[in-house]
Amino acid sequence: MRLDVVTIFPEYLEPLNVSLVGKARARGQLDVRIHDLRDWAHDKHNTVDDTPYGGGPGMVMKPEPWGEALDAVLASGEGEPVVVVPTPSGEPFTQQLAVELSAKPWLVFTPARYEGIDRRVIEEYGDRLDVREVSIGDYVLAGGEAPVLVMVEAVARLLPGVLGNAASHQDDSFAPGAMADLLEGPVYTKPPEWRGRGIPEVLLSGHHGKIARWRRDEAFRRTARNRPDLIERADPAAFDKKDREL
Ligand code: 6GU
């Protein structure tokens, strides 16, 4: 998969050299290219923002540098990318959207600073390409770079061969399957006693059926406590008699 990011803070994307994404790049599974938007600014101060029409606080990113930058990025590859525009006014970034994006050969991210990008840029590329305005949650960040790090990590770990063990995202919170719509429960490792605290007996029993049942119950309990909205939204057919007793 190819990923391009156009930003005024290329150094903000340095974490893409580390850990899972960094290793995927080193292995050639991900081709990540970071571009400095100011390379397409033309005045001596490399200006990329201006005051908003209609007045109001803050600044708006000018359309010309974005247009030139995106034209250059588009011309540098084969076919058409999906363009992901991070914005708190976008559609929610969900595991479902991460799965959808992980199936695309090419993504272009356009993180903005200030009050956002001149609307005409989104319209111009939206007429020709699949442009998705995406929010990572109900809070406001100073720019879209941190959301790009979040989205790239969520997408990259779904690519074939990027996670060591394909089974390790089968029961992720929010992954479809037997634990559909439930958050993951607690996990334990050695030592068997730490600061006087033991391990739930069932995990030491070797009884796989009982262990699966216990994990399902813990997942259900945790979901009911932390995300009651997920329980209310779920298909009642996904619940069993035991769930109703918890
Ligand atoms: Cl994608 N951008 C910004 N600036 N703030 C956000 C966001 C995105 N998602 C949630 N808050």
Q: What residues does CATH 1.10.1270.20 cover in the chain?
A: 171-245
pLDDT of residue 244: 79
Q: Which helix (H) or strand (E) holds 242?
A: helix 241-245
Q: How far apart are alpha carbons 104 and 82 in whole angstroms? A: 7
pLDDT digit string (tens) for 196-218?
999 999 999 999 999 999 999 99
Q: What residues does CATH 3.40.1280.10 cover in the chain?
A: 2-156
Residue for token pair 């930003």: 7
The catalytic residue among 2, 10, 88, 100 is 88
The set of residues, in sequence order, having a beta carbon less than 8 Å from that of 204 and lying 6+ positions away, is 192
- Which of 37, 30, 130 lies closest to 80, judged by CA? 130
Angle, helices 19-26 vs 145-156, to 10°: value is: 60
Give DSSP secondary structure letters for 176-212. Answer: SSTTTT--------S-S-BTTB---GGGGS--HHHHH
Q: What is the CATH architecture assignment of 171-245?
A: Orthogonal Bundle (1.10)
Mean pLDDT by 10 residues, the chain (246 residues): 98 97 97 98 96 97 98 98 98 98 98 94 98 97 98 97 74 67 95 98 98 96 96 85 79
172 catalytically annotated: yes
pLDDT of residue 165: 64
| Three-state secondary structure call for residue 233 | helix
Q: Does the beta carbon of 15 sit less than 6 angstroms from any atom of ligand 1? A: no
pLDDT of residue 129: 98
Residues of each annotated binding site for S-adenosyl-L-methionine: 136-141
Tell me the pTM. Answer: 0.94
pLDDT of residue 171: 61
Question: Domain 2-156, what fold?
Answer: Alpha/beta knot (3.40.1280)
Q: Does the beta carbon of 133 sit less than 6 angstroms from any atom of ligand 1? A: no
**Top mutation candidate among 59, 132, 141 for ligand 1, by most atoms within 8 Å of CB:** 141
- Which of 50, 52, 33, 32 lies closest to 41, judged by CA? 50
Reported ipTM? 0.98
pLDDT of residue 164: 78
